Amino acid sequence: MQIFPRSLNYLPLVAALGVAVLGGGVTTGIWYYFSPKNTQVGYAPEQPIHYSHKLHAGELGMDCRYCHANIERSQEAMIPPTQACMGCHAVVKKDSPKLAALRDSWKTGKPVEWVRVHRVADYVFFDHSVHLAAGVGCVSCHGRIDQMDVVRQDQPLNMVWCLECHRNPNPNLRPKDQITNMTWKPSAEEATQLAEVKLRGPQHCSGCHR
């Protein structure tokens, strides 16, 4: 007497296929959707003041270091104090409603509460000055800031991404005087020179974790 239908004989085959397909799907799903590339890149929060890098760095061509003045001397790239903005905006657009928050800050002495865009985990100790000293340009990690009306995260900033460059930095190296240049392309001999640079970022734990 039969307990199970004959069709059940195909169960093993079906099961095998099902597991294969489902497993594959889940894996790729996690692989892509949960990766920093997908979750972190593109983060572009609303800022208290609509400050456009496109305008200042791009069209007006201001150098990054005019505002982020200490990047070559500190691990942290400072956000400019209100006073720096007022340097110009005390005369330029001094009544623009867009800059109300800025003027308040200047009056009250209370800081402007910018929203952090580029962030690495708390146990990662990234040092701007060292990377600049090594000849890594702003654009390598921050992308074409000069084209961003609202600043967005351009790179995943995760460990593998860091290591790729630490293992082979040459593609991201440039002459020290071109650090802040967003559009710089190496000339032929520059390219050969840079290719010869024997520079490696640290690949041991304490290089970044302390």
Partner 1 sequence: MSADSPIAEIGETPLVPAHVTAAFVSDEVSRVTEQKAPVGWWMVFGVALMFLGVLLVSVGYLVWNGIGSWGNNSPAAWAWDITNFVWWIGIGHAGTLISAVLFLFRQKWRTSVNRFAEAMTIFAVICALLYPTIHVGRIWFLYWALPIPNQMGMWPNFKSPLLWDVFAVSTYFTVSLLFWFVGLIPDFATLRDRAKNVVRKKVYGALALGWRGSNRHWRHYERAYLILAALSTPLVLSVHSVVSFDFATSVMPGWHTTIFPPYFVAGAVFSGFAMVSTLMIICRQVYGLKDIMTMKHLELMNKIMLVTGSLVGYAYSMEFFIAWYSGNEYERYVFINRATGPYAWAYWTMVTCNVVSPQLFWWKRLRTSIPVMFAVSILINIGMWFERFVIIVTTLHRDYLPSSWGMFHPTLVDIGCYTGSLGLFFTLFSLFIRWLPMIAMFEVKAALPGAQPSHHAAHDEHAEPAHGALAVKEA
Partner 2 sequence: MSTAGNKQETSSGKRLFWRSLEQKADPQAQHEEAKASDVVKQTISHDELFTLRRRNFLGLSGAMAALVGVEGCVRRPVENIMPYADMPEYINPGVPLHYATATQRNGEALGLVVTTFEGRPTKIEGNPDHPTSLGATDLLAQAGILELYDPERSHAPTHKGVAASFADFDAFVATKLAELQKNGGSGLRVLAQPTNSPTFVRMRAALLAKLPQARVHTYAPVSQSQVLESTRIAFGQPTSVLHDFSQAKVVVALDSDFMMTEPGSVRSARQFASARDMESASGTMNRLYAVEPLFSVTGSNADHRLRLPAQDIARYARALAAELISAHGVQLGAIAPAVQGVATDGIPEHWLKAVASDLAANTGRSLVVAGARQPAAVHALVHALNRALGNAGKTVTYGEALDPTEADNFASIAALASDMAAGKVDTLVILGGNPAHDAPADLHFGDALAKVGTSIHVSSHDEETAALTTWHLPRAHELETWGDLQASTGHYTVQQPMLAPLWGGRSDIEVLGQLAGEPAWRGHDLVQATVTGRGINGELAWRQLLHKGVAEQTFARVLGALEVRDGEVAGALRKLTDAPALSASNLEVVFAADAKMFDGRYANSTWLLELPDPQTRITWDNAALIGPSTAKELGLKSGDMVRLSKDGASVDIVTWVQPGQAPNSIGLTLGWGRKKAGSNGNGHGFDVYPLRTTAAPHFTAGVAVQKLGVTYPLSQVQEHDSMEGRPLAIDATLSEYKEKPNFPEFKSPDPQFAPLWKMQDYSKGNQWGMNVDLNTCNGCNACVIACQAENNVPVVGKEQVARGRSMHWFRIDRYYVGDNEDTPEVAFQPVGCQHCEEAPCENVCPVAATSHSPEGLNDIAYNRCIGTRYCMNNCPYKVRRFNFLNFNQDIPETLQMQKNPNVTVRFRGVVEKCTYCVQRIQKAKSTAKQEGRHWLRDGEVVSACQQVCPTQAITFGDINNPKSVVSTKRRTDRNYALLAEVGARPRTRFLGKIRNPNPEMKS
- Looking at beta carbons only, is 125 or 191 nearer to partner 1? 125
Please provide the size of the chain in residues.
Answer: 210
Find the helix or strand (DSSP H, E) in which 53 lies: helix 53-53
* Closest distance to partner 1 from the beta carbon of 3 (Å): 5
**Considering only 17-25, 91-99, 123-131, 167-175, which stretch makes contact with partner 2 by CB under 8 A?**
123-131
127 interacts with, out of partner 1, partner 2, none, CB within 5 to 8 A per kind: partner 2
- Looking at beta carbons only, is 15 or 27 nearer to partner 2? 27
* Closest distance to partner 2 from the beta carbon of 175 (Å): 14
* Closest distance to partner 2 from the beta carbon of 113 (Å): 5
Q: How many angstroms separate the CA atoms of 13 and 15, rounded?
A: 5
Q: How many angstroms separate the CA atoms of 4 and 65, rounded?
A: 77
Question: Which pairs from 139-146 meet CB under 8 Å and 24+ separation?
Answer: 139/181, 139/182, 140/165, 140/172, 142/118, 144/182, 145/53, 145/57, 145/64, 145/182, 146/53, 146/54, 146/57, 146/58, 146/182
* Closest distance to partner 1 from the beta carbon of 28 (Å): 12
Give burial (CB, 10 Å; 0-12/13-18/19+) of 94: exposed
- Looking at beta carbons only, is 32 or 133 nearer to partner 1? 32
Query: Would you tell me which residues interact with partner 2 (CB under 8 A)?
Result: 30, 34-36, 39-40, 43, 45, 70, 72-84, 105-106, 108-116, 119, 121-123, 125, 127, 129-130, 133-134, 158, 202, 204-207, 209-210
